[in-house]
């Protein structure tokens, strides 16, 4: 069973104290950004090693979001506490061609590349056997949304949540990669709540993704 451990953040000493108060009380909102990242080397690595590009990117994404506390924040509405999870895990999705519906797939993050990839593939295969939506957010509080939009290499995407809803876990989408100037680029959208993240922290996800791609393909 995946860990759900967390620590409560002291709001008085929280380094984003003023920003958190403003965007959790006065102006509740999110910030999202779409950018294209270079995945040429990751595509080549996947082909060379006989591995799945999608799973490789999911691993990199999960590693990036676990690398910094700002991306592992949560909010306990029952007690009004700001928390930081020890680890967060990806909720991926299976699309069923026959029903044109999706099934959420809860996959546990593992820093070990081989173990993570094996688990993610196993979870996907199991989910292909059902057509139930199967969402269990209450039972998976430290899972972030990781959704691949496989039909389009889009230029912009925006995820909206109800006004005033303090949801702090990342929501990440990405689309098909396409060739531009001899390189393969892929659109990625990062959504974070503004109370725990600003433009720098959102933009930093893209920088870290390309950094981790460079590390993985050197294996």
pLDDT tens-digit series, residues 139-182: 999 999 999 999 999 999 998 887 667 999 999 999 999 999 99
Structure tokens at 167: 């949801």
Given this model, what pLDDT does residue 3 score?
A: 63
Structure tokens at 95: 């699309």
Given this model, what pLDDT does residue 174 score?
A: 98
Confirm if 204 and 52 have CB atoms less than 8 A apart. no
Given this model, what pLDDT does residue 202 score?
A: 97
Given this model, what pLDDT does residue 162 score?
A: 77
Given this model, what pLDDT does residue 219 score?
A: 86
Given this model, what pLDDT does residue 2 score?
A: 63
Given this model, what pLDDT does residue 4 score?
A: 74
3 phi, psi to nearest 5 deg: -70, 140
Question: Cα separations (Å) of 95 from 54, 126, 128, 129, 130?
Answer: 14, 13, 8, 11, 11
- The kind and range of the H/E element at 103 are strand 101-106
Given this model, what pLDDT does residue 165 score?
A: 78
Question: Hey, what domains does the chain have and what are their CATH numbers?
Answer: 6-216 (3.30.559.10)
Confirm if 61 and 70 have CB atoms less than 8 A apart. no
How do strand 171-175 and strand 101-106 relate by DSSP bridges?
Answer: unpaired
Positions in the chain whose pLDDT score sits under 50: none
Given this model, what pLDDT does residue 51 score?
A: 98
**Can you tell me the distance from the alpha carbon of 44 to that of 183, in angstroms, rounded to the nearest whole number?**
11
Given this model, what pLDDT does residue 218 score?
A: 94
pTM of the model: 0.96
Confirm if 4 and 76 have CB atoms less than 8 A apart. no
Given this model, what pLDDT does residue 168 score?
A: 96
């Amino acid at each position: 069973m995946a860990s759900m451990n967390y620590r409560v953040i002291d709001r008085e000493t929280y380094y984003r104290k003023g920003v958190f108060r403003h965007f959790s009380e006065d102006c509740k909102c999110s910030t999202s950004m779409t950018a294209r990242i270079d995945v040429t080397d990751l595509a080549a690595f996947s082909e060379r090693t006989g591995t799945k590009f999608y799973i490789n990117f999911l691993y990199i994404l999960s590693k990036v979001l676990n690398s910094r506390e700002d991306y592992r924040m949560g909010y306990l509405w029952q007690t009004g506490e700001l928390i930081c999870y020890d680890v967060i895990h990806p909720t991926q999705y299976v699309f069923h061609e026959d029903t044109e519906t999706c099934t959420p797939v809860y996959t546990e993050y593992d820093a070990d590349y081989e173990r993570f990839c094996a688990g993610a593939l196993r979870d996907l295969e199991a989910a292909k056997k059902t057509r139930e939506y199967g969402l269990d957010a209450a039972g998976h509080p430290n899972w972030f949304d990781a959704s691949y939009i496989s039909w389009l290499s889009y230029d912009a995407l925006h995820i909206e949540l109800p006004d005033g809803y303090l949801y702090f876990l990342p929501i990440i989408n990405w689309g098909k990669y396409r060739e531009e100037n001899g390189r393969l680029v892929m659109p990625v959208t990062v959504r974070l709540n503004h109370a725990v993240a600003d433009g720098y922290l959102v933009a930093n996800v893209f920088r870290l993704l390309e950094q981790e791609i460079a590390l993985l393909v050197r294996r």
